[in-house]
Chain A
Amino acid sequence: MSEKKPASVTEKIWNMLSSVTLAVVLIAILAVTSIVGTVIEQSPDYDKNIKVISTFVGSGAAPAVYKALNSLGFMDMYRSWWFLCLLMLFSINLIVCSIERLPRIWKIVHDPMIPLKDNVLRNLGIRHEITVSSKADDARGVVEGVLKAGGMSPQTASSQEDGSVQVFGQKGGWARFGVYVVHGSILIIFIGAIVGAIWGFKGGLNLPEGADSDVAYQYGSGTEIPLGFTVRCNWYETEFYGSSDMPKLFKSELTVLENGREVMKKWIRVNDPLNYKGVTFYQSSYGPIPTPQNGLFVFKAKTQSGEQMVWAKMNQPFKIPGTDMEATVVNFSPALTTDRNTGQLYTYTSSMNNPAVEVRFTRGGQEVLRTGWIWKRWPDTGKLQGGAALEFEHYWGAQYTGLQVRKDPGVWLVYLGCILMSIALYVAFFISHRKVWVKISDDGRKTRILIGASAHKNRHAFEKDVQKMVSGITAGLEGGV
Chain B
Amino acid sequence: MDSSALFNVSTFAYIIAMIAYIAYLAFKQKGIGLAATGITAAGFLAQTAAIVTRWSESYSQWMKFSPESSMLLGISRSAPLRNLYESLVFFIWSMILIHLVIEYVYKNRSLGAFVTPIAGLALAFIEMAGIGKEIQPLVPALQSNWLIAHVLISFFGYGAFAISYATANMHIILASGDRKSQSYIFWAFTFSLFIWVLIVATAGTISGPPPEGMDGRSAGRGMSFWLPLAGIYPVLFFIVWRFGLSMHNLLASFALSADILDEITYKGIAIGFPLLTLGIITGAIWADSAWGTYWSWDPKETWSLITWFAYALYLHSRLMRGWRGVKTAILSLIGFISVVFTYLGVNLLLSGLHSYGGG
Contacts and interface: CB of A to CB of B under 8 A. Distances in A.
A27 interface: yes
Interface in A271-299: 271-273, 280, 282, 284
A48 interface: yes
A51 B219 contact: yes
B287 to A, nearest CB: 10
Contact of B306 (A31, A55, A250): A31
A270 interface: yes
Interface in B298-323: 299, 302-303, 305-306, 309-310, 312-313, 316-317, 320-321
A47 interface: yes
Contacts of A20: 316, 320-321
B270 A42 contact: no
Contacts of B143: 249, 270-271
B184 to A, nearest CB: 23
A24 B223 CA distance: 36
Question: Which range contains the number of A residues in contact with the other chain?
Answer: 35 or more
Nearest to A272: B289
Nearest to B141: A270
Given A48-B353, A247-B140, A78 B289 contact: no
B157 to A, nearest CB: 12
A266 B2 CA distance: 42
A374 to B, nearest CB: 23
A51 B309 CA distance: 29
A358 interface: no
Contacts of B140: 247-250, 269-271
B156 interface: no
Given A418-B284, A422-B281, A39 B350 contact: yes
A378 interface: no
B278 interface: yes
Given A48-B353, A246-B137, A415 B285 contact: yes
A38 B65 contact: no
A100 interface: no
A406 B65 contact: no
B325 interface: no
B104 interface: no
A98 to B, nearest CB: 13
Nearest to B295: A193
A177 to B, nearest CB: 15
B148 to A, nearest CB: 13
A37 interface: yes
A41 B354 contact: yes
A24 B291 contact: no
Interface string B221-234: 00100100000000
Contact of B137 (A55, A248, A429): A248
Given A27-B309, A282-B291, A241 B65 contact: yes
A92 interface: no
Interface in A29-68: 30-31, 34-35, 37-39, 41-42, 47-48, 51-52, 55
Nearest to A25: B313
Contact of A35 (B223, B263, B285, B306): B306
B31 interface: no
A183 to B, nearest CB: 11
A475 interface: no
Contacts of B289: 271-273
Contact of B65 (A202, A248, A269, A422): A248
A37 B317 contact: no
B196 interface: no
A271 to B, nearest CB: 4
22 contacts: A20-B316, A34-B309, A37-B302, A42-B297, A47-B213, A48-B217, A241-B65, A246-B139, A247-B139, A248-B65, A271-B143, A273-B292, A280-B292, A282-B290, A284-B291, A406-B292, A406-B293, A418-B284, A425-B273, A425-B274, A429-B270, A430-B270
Interface of B: 64-66, 136-137, 139-141, 143-144, 213, 217, 219-220, 223, 226, 263, 270-271, 273-274, 277-278, 281, 284-286, 288-295, 297, 299, 302-303, 305-306, 309-310, 312-313, 316-317, 320-321, 346, 350, 353-354
Interface of A: 20, 23-24, 27-28, 30-31, 34-35, 37-39, 41-42, 47-48, 51-52, 55, 78, 193, 202, 241-242, 246-250, 269-273, 280, 282, 284, 404-406, 408, 411, 414-415, 418, 421-422, 425-426, 429-430, 460
